[in-house]
Structure 1
Amino acid sequence: MPEILIRPPAGEPVSLAEAKQHLRVTDSLQDSHISMLISNARIACESKTRRQLLHSRWQLVTDRFPMSGVGTPLPLSNDINLPAYAVRLPHAPFVDMQSITYFDMNSSLQTMDPATYTVNAAMEPALVSPVFGQIWPIPLPQIGAVQWTYDAGYASPIVAQAGSALFTVNGPVSWHLGDTTTFYNSGGALPAPLQPNTPYLIASASGNQYSVTDMSGGAITFTDSGSGASFIGTVPEGLRHWILLRVGSLYENREEVAILNRGKVEELPFVDGLLDPYRISLP
């Protein structure tokens, strides 16, 4: 895929502390090596599933807009069409479309009006197409003439301070008043009184600083800053567990096989099986 990573993830979905606990490592002599294994495992997970774990900004670059056409015929038993004029955004889960830009016939960069296109974010990968009554413009006939910039991912790291209701988000995604969100922690505990797998409402938003309330509207003030790594949004546990298993495999064996009696080598298929519910297929 012709893609550019505009803004990479701000950290890793699994903390060094959680990985060391999984590995039963108590010293700090190999912290840098284990951190490298976490990063490599996360990249492998994202590559196998085409899912973005922590929020990042991507740019898909194409030579032109899709050709108009009828696309895939819509079966009577199916409510979704895949029209030829739609574009698939490769990374999931889709969060927000930042812009669609293109070079016009005068080689000037133009930005499309968001009112002229729509995104089906329920699809994985998400689909972008013109709204009813609109068509894609004609770009300059050269390579890389069209750019599709979007955010994808599950979560972003946060920093909270004891005695404050505000927390800071490190990532490209923005939240809006009234949005529902969750939090999770890796290698420690969320800032109290936040609880994992619990919905909260965004109560204020200013730049990259936010506050939340519980679902009844009760204000949340942090009594501590938490420990380990805390995140707004939740990376699925199956994906995080796979990362830990991959880190453990690389750390202990340097390979994903078991050496059995008489020198027999047996693959461990259950490791990649954890990714099966999250795989995305691209035609």
Structure 2
Amino acid sequence: MHITTLTPPSGEPLSLADAKAFARVGSDHDDALIGQLIAAARARVETETGLALVTQSLRLTLQDWPIGVLEQGVMRLPRRPAQGLTAVRLTDGVEATLITDQFQLTPGLSPQLKPQSGLAWPWPHSVHQWIEIDWVAGFGAAETVPEDLVHAVKRIVAFGVEHQGSRDWRAHEALTTELDEWLQPWREVRI
């Protein structure tokens, strides 16, 4: 299972001005660094929660369907919330068979991909083929990202500004503990 970003977010969930205000930075000297910290903070929040904060297009590449999908009849997409399904295809890297019309996607925070009613899960025709699933994920524009997730991004950026170049493991540990509390409600629990 491999996720590729086809279209990155058009912006970040936190503006440079808001990040600077939160981190109490008054000069423009570190704008480039703060911009990089915002992108890194968004990526960290997305990785730790399985979310896509701002709208982006993603591709999931599979050798075959994950274990349990056939029995459950649905597959959970690994980045959420899902806005819509773009394409499903079987491909060998040269030729592709588009099978999007054989699937439906339930969008939202628990996105579920399943075959259209009465259809079976299509399988690759050889060991040289794989499955690609393209979808649009994210809460939307920056202003639609939930405030607690934006706050987590702010805290990471402020920490990066304050502890620039620091190797204080206790401060890093404290940030990690704080982020765990902020992000816990957004982590998806699977049994």
Same topology, TM > 0.5? yes
Q: Deviations over 1:8-51 (max 9, x none)?
A: 11121101100111111111011111111111111111010010
Partner of 1:200: none
> Higher helix share goes to which structure?
2
Q: Deviations over 1:197-252 (max 9, x none)?
A: xxxxxxxxxxxxxxxxxxxxxxxxxxxxxxxxxxxxx0000000011111111111
The answer (yes or no) to whether the contact 1:34–1:251 under 8 Å persists in 2 is: yes
Q: Deviations over 1:122-146 (max 9, x none)?
A: 562x221112211123322225511
Following superposition, the deviation at residue 95 of structure 1 comes to 0.5
The Cα RMSD (Å) is 2.6
Following superposition, the deviation at residue 119 of structure 1 comes to 2.0
Q: 2:83 aligned with 1:95, yes or no?
A: yes
**Cα distance in 1 between the residues matched to 2:13 and 2:27:** 22
Q: Which runs of 5+ in 1 are unaligned?
A: 72-82, 158-183, 185-233, 259-264
Q: What is the one-letter code of the residue matched to 1:28?
A: D
Q: Deviations over 1:179-208 (max 9, x none)?
A: xxxxx3xxxxxxxxxxxxxxxxxxxxxxxx
The residue correspondences of 1:30-41 to structure 2 (distance < 5 A) are 30-41=30-41
User: Compared with structure 1, are the counterparts of its residues 31 and 112 closer, same or farther at alpha carbon in structure 2 (3 Å cutoff)?
Assistant: same
**Cα distance in 2 between the residues matched to 1:89 and 1:61:** 11
The residue correspondences of 1:1-283 to structure 2 (distance < 5 A) are 1-65=1-65, 71=71, 83=72, 85-103=73-91, 108-114=95-101, 116-122=102-108, 124=110, 126-142=111-127, 145-156=130-141, 184=143, 234-253=144-163, 254=166, 257-258=170-171, 267-268=174-175, 269-281=177-189
- Of 134-143 and 20-29, deviating more is 134-143
- Percent identity, aligned pairs only, is 27
Following superposition, the deviation at residue 276 of structure 1 comes to 1.1
> Higher strand share goes to which structure?
1
The answer (yes or no) to whether the contact 2:124–2:130 under 8 Å persists in 1 is: yes
> If the length of structure 2 is used for normalisation, what is the TM-score?
0.85
User: Compared with structure 1, are the counterparts of its residues 144 and 251 closer, same or farther at alpha carbon in structure 2 (3 Å cutoff)?
Assistant: farther
Say how many residue pairs are matched: 186
User: Compared with structure 1, are the counterparts of its residues 113 and 32 closer, same or farther at alpha carbon in structure 2 (3 Å cutoff)?
Assistant: closer
Following superposition, the deviation at residue 69 of structure 1 comes to 7.7
Q: Secondary structure at 1:99's aligned position in 2? A: strand
Which of the pair has more CA radius of gyration?
Answer: 1
User: Compared with structure 1, are the counterparts of its residues 144 and 248 closer, same or farther at alpha carbon in structure 2 (3 Å cutoff)?
Assistant: farther
User: Compared with structure 1, are the counterparts of its residues 141 and 53 closer, same or farther at alpha carbon in structure 2 (3 Å cutoff)?
Assistant: same
User: Compared with structure 1, are the counterparts of its residues 250 and 102 closer, same or farther at alpha carbon in structure 2 (3 Å cutoff)?
Assistant: same
Q: Deviations over 1:42-62 (max 9, x none)?
A: 111101001001111111111
**Cα distance in 1 between the residues matched to 2:114 and 2:77:** 11
> If the length of structure 1 is used for normalisation, what is the TM-score?
0.59
**Cα distance in 2 between the residues matched to 1:53 and 1:271:** 16
Q: Which has the higher contact order (CA 8 A, sep 6+)?
A: 2
The answer (yes or no) to whether the contact 1:62–1:143 under 8 Å persists in 2 is: no
**Cα distance in 1 between the residues matched to 2:70 and 2:114:** 13
The answer (yes or no) to whether the contact 1:66–1:86 under 8 Å persists in 2 is: no
Q: Secondary structure at 2:141's aligned position in 1? A: strand
Q: Deviations over 1:238-268 (max 9, x none)?
A: 000011111111111245744xxxxxx9735
Following superposition, the deviation at residue 70 of structure 1 comes to 6.5
**Cα distance in 2 between the residues matched to 1:69 and 1:52:** 23
